Structure 1
Amino acid sequence: MTTLAAVIPQVLADVPSRFRGPGGAVAVLKDGELVGQQLWGYADLQGRIPMASDTLLPICSITKQMLCGLLTDLQRSPTPAMSARGEEPAKQLSDQLGQLLHPNLLQDTGLTLRHLCNNQSGLRDYWALTVLWGAKPEGHFSVADHGPKMLASLKSFHFQPGTEYSYANTNFFVVARCIERVTAQPLGELLAQRIFAPAGMQTARLCAHTAEHPPPCVGYEGDEASGFYPGVNCIEWAGDAGIVASLADMVAYEQFVDRSSHSHDSQSWYGINSEQQTYNDGSPADYGFGLVRKQVGGVLTVGHAGALRGYRLSRSYAPEPRISIVVLLNQEHGDAVGVSEYILKRIMGVPEAKDEIASPDPDWTGTYLDSDTGLAIVVSPGGPGELLVKYHGNPEKLRVVEACRAESNSMVATLDGSCLHLYVPQDNRTLHAQRVASSGKPASSDSSGLQGDYHCAEIGSVFRCSGSGDMVYGMFDGFLGHGPVHLMRQLGDDLWALACPRAMDATPPGDWTIIVRRNDKGKVAGLTIGCWLARRLEFIKQE
Structure 2
Amino acid sequence: MITQDSIDQVLETLPLRYSGPGGALAILQNGKLLGQRVWGYADVAKRIHMDPDTRMPICSITKQFICALLLDLKQNPTPAMTARGTDIDAQFEDKLRETLHPDIFAAHPELSVQHLCDMQSGLRDYWAMTALWGAEPEGEFRLARQYAPMLTRTKSFQFAPGTEYSYCNVNFHVLGRVIERVAGGELGGLLRERVLAPAGMDTAVLWPSNATLPGPCIGYEGTEQTGYVAAVNNMEWSGDAGLVASLKDMIAWETHLHRLYAEGPDNWYARAASKPTTFADGTTPAMYHFGLIHEFADGVHTVGHSGALRGWRSHRRHAPEAGISVIVLLNHEASVGPAVEYAFQALLQKSAPESPIVEPTPAWEGSFLDRDTQLVVRVRPGSKRGQLVLAYAGADETLRLTDPSHGETAWMKARIDGDVLHVHRIKENRKLEARRLVSRPSSFQDASLTGDYRCEEVDSVFHCWGEAGLLYGEFDGYLGRGTATVMRYVGDDVWVLTCPRGLDAPAPGDWTVVFRRGEDGAVEGFTMGCWLARRVEFVKLKSAIHLEDI
Distance in 2 of aligned mates of 1:508 and 1:345: 29
CA contact (8 A) 2:69 2:195 kept: yes
Distance in 2 of aligned mates of 1:291 and 1:467: 45
- Residue matched to 2:437: 436
> 1:85 is aligned with what amino acid?
R
Residue deviations 1:91-134 (CA, integer Å, cap 9, x gap): 11110122111112113431000001111000000110000000
> 2:398 is aligned with what amino acid?
K
- Residue matched to 2:364: 364
CA contact (8 A) 1:501 1:508 kept: yes
CA contact (8 A) 1:109 1:161 kept: no
CA contact (8 A) 2:9 2:346 kept: no
- Residue matched to 2:203: 203
- Residue matched to 2:525: 526
CA contact (8 A) 1:69 1:273 kept: no
Distance in 1 of aligned mates of 2:231 and 2:11: 27
1:320 CA drift (Å): 1.5
> 1:369 is aligned with what amino acid?
L
* Pairwise CA RMSD: 1.2
Distance in 2 of aligned mates of 1:76 and 1:459: 38
Distance in 2 of aligned mates of 1:265 and 1:515: 49
Residue deviations 1:65-113 (CA, integer Å, cap 9, x gap): 1001111111111101110110122111110122111112113431000
Residue deviations 1:247-298 (CA, integer Å, cap 9, x gap): 00000000011011112263x3222233421100121100111100001122
Farther off after superposition, 183-192 or 243-252: 183-192
1:226 CA drift (Å): 1.5
Distance in 2 of aligned mates of 1:501 and 1:277: 34
Distance in 1 of aligned mates of 2:191 and 2:14: 32
Unaligned runs of at least 5 residues, structure 1? none
Residue deviations 1:375-423 (CA, integer Å, cap 9, x gap): 1101111121111101011211111121001111222110011110111
- Residue matched to 1:290: 291
Aligned partner of residue 144 in structure 2, secondary structure: helix
Q: What stretches of structure 1 move > 4 A for 4+ residues in a row?
A: none
Distance in 2 of aligned mates of 1:188 and 1:439: 55
Distance in 2 of aligned mates of 1:536 and 1:6: 51
- Residue matched to 1:121: 121
Distance in 2 of aligned mates of 1:265 and 1:392: 35
Is residue 38 from structure 1 mapped to residue 43 from structure 2 by the alignment?
Answer: no
Distance in 2 of aligned mates of 1:109 and 1:430: 25
Distance in 2 of aligned mates of 1:391 and 1:14: 32
- Residue matched to 2:545: none
- Residue matched to 1:256: 256
TM-score normalised to the size of structure 2?
0.96
Equivalences for residues 49-88 of structure 1 within 5 A: 49-88=48-87
- Residue matched to 2:427: 426
Unaligned runs of at least 5 residues, structure 2? 543-550
1:470 CA drift (Å): 2.1
CA contact (8 A) 2:19 2:39 kept: no
Equivalences for residues 48-197 of structure 1 within 5 A: 48-107=47-106, 108-197=108-197
Residue deviations 1:182-217 (CA, integer Å, cap 9, x gap): 122110000000110111100000000110111111
- Residue matched to 1:329: 330
Is residue 217 from structure 1 mapped to residue 213 from structure 2 by the alignment?
Answer: no
Distance in 2 of aligned mates of 1:141 and 1:155: 20
- Residue matched to 1:503: 502
Aligned partner of residue 185 in structure 1, secondary structure: coil
CA contact (8 A) 2:211 2:234 kept: yes
- Residue matched to 1:404: 405
Distance in 2 of aligned mates of 1:438 and 1:285: 38
CA contact (8 A) 2:43 2:218 kept: yes
Aligned partner of residue 12 in structure 1, secondary structure: helix
Distance in 2 of aligned mates of 1:371 and 1:122: 18
Is residue 345 from structure 1 mapped to residue 340 from structure 2 by the alignment?
Answer: no
Equivalences for residues 222-241 of structure 1 within 5 A: 222-241=222-241
Distance in 2 of aligned mates of 1:133 and 1:11: 43
Distance in 1 of aligned mates of 2:169 and 2:176: 11
Distance in 2 of aligned mates of 1:6 and 1:363: 46
1:519 CA drift (Å): 1.2
Farther off after superposition, 306-315 or 5-14: 5-14
Distance in 1 of aligned mates of 2:196 and 2:243: 10
Distance in 2 of aligned mates of 1:276 and 1:409: 16
Equivalences for residues 442-461 of structure 1 within 5 A: 443=444, 445-446=445-446, 448-461=447-460
CA contact (8 A) 1:358 1:400 kept: yes
